[in-house]
Structure 1
Amino acid sequence: MTAIHREDVQRAAAAAALDAPGVAALQPALSEQLALAASRAHHAVTAGTAPHREAAGIRCGPTEEGGWHVEVRCILHADRRAVDVARQVREDVRSAVTACLARNGATGPVTVLVTVTRTV
């Protein structure tokens, strides 16, 4: 069994959420938005050429039961029913995180909370 890194779970969850039909983007938390703004300002001042990845709207962590809890903040396309997209995101993220954990020899329940922050 190898160690499960939070970033691996976050990446799997973000990829699954973004692949769900109807998801326009992931909504970063306020702290992520501030960090992103500071990073962009720093890159502008130092003329950095490395591209900066947008912070994903995923928060996750291990649970006491040995599983993981994942929170997803989505921005949806306005032409889709929010409840349908949220259900799809929840199932896709749960499957992706479960597969990520299995690849690393871990098992445990995966809970997913999806929040729709807005539509575009």
Structure 2
Amino acid sequence: MTAVRTTSVERIAARAALAVPGVSELQPSLRQALAEAATRVRRTPGSVAPSPESGIHAERAPRTGAWHVEVRCVLDEDRRALDTARDVRESVRSAVDAYATRHGIPGPVTVVVTVTRTTRHRPSHQTGTTAP
């Protein structure tokens, strides 16, 4: 599996996860966060922020062709975390499976969703107010 295809799978997975109602953002793993911190020192002011794919890790098993996708997400507390995590798992699995099939690299897709935290959802019409 080439790096470009793995990156594409991660991009597809990130879009699918972020499209699920109740997902606030994707959060990088500790490994990804440390790598980002190390490169941040070398970055110039005004450079591009880390991509949403930093909360996704995808790899393909060379012998079986199976995809394993890890999704780390922050959820809005206004929806049940279990329901949202299930929706993320199914959305990502479907999107990666469709992408892989279209590109002739099908295989089973396993998705693991980790909820790293929940956040209070603040509607935009209440700007300037603080939540209790």
Give the total of aligned pairs. 116
Aligned to 2:48: 51
Q: Which moved more, 1:11-20 or 1:34-43?
A: 34-43
What percent of counterpart residues are identical? 52
* Structure 1: gaps (5+ residues): none
SS of equivalent to 2:105: coil
Shift of 1:32: 1.5
Q: What does residue range 78-97 of structure 1 map to in structure 2 within 5 Å?
A: 78-97=77-96
Residue type at the aligned position of 2:17? A
Q: Which residue of 2 aligns with 1:62?
A: 60
> Aligned runs of 1:1-120 on 2, under 5 Å?
5-43=5-43, 46-47=44-45, 49-54=46-51, 56-63=54-61, 64-120=63-119
Gaps of 5+ in 2: 120-132
TM-score of the pair, normalised by structure 2: 0.78
- The runs of at least 4 consecutive aligned structure 1 residues that moved more than 4 Å come to none
Q: With the length of structure 1 as denominator, give the TM-score of the two structures.
A: 0.85
- The structural deviation recorded for 1:20 is 0.6
CA distance in 1 between partners of 2:113 and 2:98 (Å): 19
Greater relative contact order (Cα < 8 A, sep 6+): 1
Larger radius of gyration: 2
Residue range with higher mean Cα deviation, 62-71 or 8-17: 62-71
